[in-house]
Structure 1
Amino acid sequence: MRRLIWILIFGTISCIDPYIFDADEPIRMLSVEGFITTGEGPHEIRLSRVARYGPSFIGFNLPETRAAVLIKDDQGRVIELIESESGVYKLPGGFRGQIGNSYNLEIKLQNGKRYISRPEKLVSVPQVDSLSYRSVKTPTSNRFREEVGVQVTAYFQDPVEEENYYYWRPLESTFILVSEPDAEGTQGGTVASCCSRCFHKDVPKPANVITVGDSEFNGTYQNRLIAYVVDNGMRFKETYRLDILHLSLSQGAHMFLNLVNQQLSLTGSVFDPPPANIRGNMICLDDPDEQVLGYFFASDVQLLRVYIEQVNLEFYKIPQAFSPYDCREYLRLMDPLGRNPVRPPLLPTNPPDDWDP
């Protein structure tokens, strides 16, 4: 009987054959991110390779290094970009785009492949007169919990008999991070003695792409929603400084960004359109059928800045008690297990030099 058991065990093991998985090398598409403006910059172009698995899944980006990158205009000017870090190519300091000029981006990779963008004409953007903000509540899938956020509205005059396209791009912003220090409390075995107010930088969430054409309001005075920032319980405990670029666009860039926003807005419901790769304005000269991700555009720009004060909000989210200790330690508290190989810095307690609420 014992012999029979051993035969059954080894017989079963010997019947298992290893499965050799032979995966095809994923197709890596060139991705181009960047634009130039009439502002002082910095102006940069990011090149990377994106792995595509199947018809729609996009993998991680790998920087495309040691490429020759040029920007040319219709006046014969040629500007060479310098690779400042892996895959990031910067224009020289002092560069500013000129209204009325057309620009295109040219790229030559290490393997000799050449890419070029269609020309983008830089048109002026009507100036924003003023900004306002208000808090709003939005229902969520949880009927017991509403999303709280702040909407920012811009006021401006759209020119008569001009075809205008607008894009509002939020920048990294700064807010006062407020904690409740407890002199008697301890953290990691040390007594916390400071501080209650720190200055923290933040990328506004959600990452909405807000762009609009004036086909329905040509020539009229506008009040347009240009930004929405979710209240996470920390951003609006005192003052949040939101910076936004007010940009002009070509029709092609507007259509591209609209499609990007549709993709970002997919919720996974049956009513969503199928995800797809969006073709930009970059062309491979050696293989016109090759798909290149991204869009190069040129814009006139106005920097907008608004200080959102909690005292002016009708309602806000109940603050998250992230810690009763030193607000300077906030970034380190967000990584309690030390997964980040570089120890995060302490947050500053002094405002930026240009802080002027």
Structure 2
Amino acid sequence: MQRLGNAITNFGMDMFKEILQETTKPNVIISPLSIVLGLAQLALGSVNQTEKQLQKNLHFNSLNCSHRVLRTAIDIFTKNILSIASTIYIKKGFHIKNPFLEESVKFYKSRPQLLTGVNAEDTKMINKWVEQMTGGKIKTFLNEVPSNVVLLLLNAIHFKGLWKVQFDPRATSNDIFYMEDGKTVQVEMMQHPKYPISGFHDDDLQIEVARLSFKQNISFIVVKPMVNTGLNNMVQKLKVTELLSRFYRARPMPVKVPKLNIDFDLDLSQALQSLGLGSLFMNPNLSKISSEPLIVSGVQHKVTLELKEEGVEAAASTGIAVSRSFIQCNINRPFFFIIRDDISGIPLFLGTIKDPKPRFRKEPQDKMEVNLERMRKMEMLIVPK
């Protein structure tokens, strides 16, 4: 499970760094676990070079029986902290091979559903499934089903984490958040006089790192630059698996955390191509799915993150480190965060927050779309070549 955690962390950071280079949106949030589940299911239907590329990019080469390990992780999470659902939509008349369907059910509990061929009905059916699986948080996932789609792999993850020590809403008050461009914005800042924090400074990277705990062995880890410049550059330099090995025993201290309610949605196609998976969109070998030639036409990702007083709704060097002690933890400038399972190390969500109140400003548009809210969701569109 820890090897799986490292694999998903490494893949998630690879993906996240590519997205940061592509998007112009101020806030970026992804669910590495959800993306991996979608690509791993696709790998069930791939062979030869396509399968090898997926295994390599997912960092699964160190895992034996990666699908079984993922199944174990899903079972553990769904008993405790997450709601995870998967399904396959198949176009009427498209022949899909039974072994792929059987393995999809076995490892991902992804049962097939038949598309009617009537666009309006199919769109309504898919959106209804998404709404149900996300507790009503995403009501419209698709505006329409593309006419050339023969297969849709879809999954949804919903996480509701409660702080180990909850914030008192009466202590929440307006405070200043310092933006990268030198401007400031008033935000609602949650406060606690003695929150148990584990943290450290890294003078080489010029960062501050703090970990706040949720119940059920989940952590909210924040990394912010010591000076308010270059969050993207800081993230590009991070080696998360090394960073997360340096936490010490938590101790109580004053903490301020901004309340957040952020949406993010994007098409992952460009980022996946930049990572070396361009063949999925041009000439993949998906012969375990069907004898017909297929390509992946799109990989959609949607997420919503709400951080509030009760919790969040929605992922090694050798040496001796001497760290300065924290006096207080004040998250009042742009930061990178990880929501992570402490036992396996699997990241549920990764994100950067530069603007805590984007709904009051028009966000720039770019080629990617992502939506983040108490859940994360992914679809993979597969069409004939």
Shared fold, TM over 0.5: no
TM-score band, normalised by the shorter chain? Answer: under 0.3
| TM-score normalized with structure 1 length | 0.21
| TM-score normalized with structure 2 length | 0.20
Structure (1 or 2) with the larger CA radius of gyration:
1
Task: From the two aligned structures, give the one with the greater helix fraction.
Answer: 2
Q: Which has the higher contact order (CA 8 A, sep 6+)?
A: 2
